[in-house]
Amino acid sequence: MAPADGSDDSQELLYGLHAVREALKAGSRPLQRLHVIRTDKQFAELVQLARALHVPVHIQPLASLDRLAPGGRHQGIVAFAAAKAYQTEESILAGAAKRNEPPLLVILDGVEDPHNLGAVLRTAEGAGVHGVFIPERRAAGLTSVVAKVSAGAIDHIPVARVTNTSRLLESLKAAGVWIYGLDPAATKLFTEVDFRGPVGLVFGGEGAGIRPGVLQHCDERIRIPMKGHVQSLNVSASAAVTLFEAVRQRAVPVPTRPR
């Protein structure tokens, strides 16, 4: 996939059978039109699904699709999509309540690399995270590069974009969510934390980590133990390690107390 231009607010291109299929099935990113090299064989299912969703389908020659998709990696199908609609804090918390689960949330503070954002979304979706929060400024948005790296996860996990991360943390805390910030300088290990309740995990951006002004709004700071010379993991790796500890804990039944 590739964006139509550098803005995540403009029309985007999705290309490739898998990416277009996920977008059509999830329905979270409205498709404006679909260009295919033909409507039979492997394209028949996608064409039928698109028409059922009232997405116009246009048959285009190979040369036309090659011009749209750099390198010709389109597999014979290109979709014109608007940027994925962002959710709200309220809708994300409501989604957790609907699933009858304590919220498990990811808050990213200044992750600027779209590849990192896409990888975090893929991990978060696999871990059953109820929603991911990203800042409006100085951070990667939901572009088609992010969609490609997420391997379709972008269509299945709610993402909210916030103007003020510190204010978000205070709002989540007021809603009963305990906020943990991943900080290499913390004394408590992430394995010493109970993740079975309502939890928000804050991960910092590349290089600088969580900004001090955001870190001070966390209820507690935790760290991943590092045994080598490198003192921290990539943000997507940190998210994977921490989130799947939460998955492990939440899979263990809570012991009942004797009366």
pTM for this predicted structure? 0.72
**CATH (domain of 220):** 3.40.1280.10
Same domain for 173 and 214, yes or no, is yes
Same domain for 44 and 159, yes or no, is no
Whole-number pLDDT of residue 256:
60
Domain of 134, in residue numbers: 89-251
Calpha distance 66→92 (Å, rounded): 39
Same domain for 76 and 148, yes or no, is no
Same domain for 243 and 181, yes or no, is yes
Give the amino acid at 165: T
Calpha distance 153→133 (Å, rounded): 15
Same domain for 194 and 139, yes or no, is yes
Whole-number pLDDT of residue 10:
43
Whole-number pLDDT of residue 206:
85
- DSSP string computed for the chain: -EESSS-TTS-EEEESHHHHHHHHHH-SS-EEEEEES-SSGGGHHHHHHHHHTT--EEE--HHHHHHHSGGGTTTTEEEEEPPPPPB-HHHHHHHHHHTT---EEEEEES---HHHHHHHHHHHHHTT-SEEEEESSSS--S-HHHHHHTTTGGGTS-EEEES-HHHHHHHHHHTTPEEEEE-TT-SEEGGGS--SSSEEEEEEBTTTBS-HHHHTTSSEEEE----SS-----HHHHHHHHHHHHHHHHHSPPPPPP-
Structural domains counted in the chain? 2
Burial class of 144 by CB neighbour count within 10 A (0 to 12, 13 to 18, 19+): buried
Calpha distance 61→66 (Å, rounded): 9
Nearest Cα neighbor of 157 from 122, 205, 109 is: 122
Same domain for 68 and 188, yes or no, is no
Sheet holding 2-3, edge to edge: 2-3, 12-15, 77-81, 31-36, 57-59
pLDDT digits (tens, 9 = 90+) for 119-151: 999 999 999 999 999 998 888 888 778 888 998
Same domain for 103 and 209, yes or no, is yes
Give the burial string for 44-80 (b: 16+ CB within 10 Å, else e): eebbeebeeeebebeebeeeebeebbeeeebbbbbbb
Answer whether residue 257 is part of any domain: no
Nearest Cα neighbor of 112 from 81, 149, 140, 77 is: 140
Whole-number pLDDT of residue 257:
55
Same domain for 218 and 173, yes or no, is yes
Answer whether residue 258 is part of any domain: no
Residue ranges in the chain modelled with pLDDT below 50: 1-10
pLDDT digits (tens, 9 = 90+) for 227-243: 988 888 899 999 999 99
Is the distance from CB of 147 to CB of 2 less than 8 angstroms?
A: no
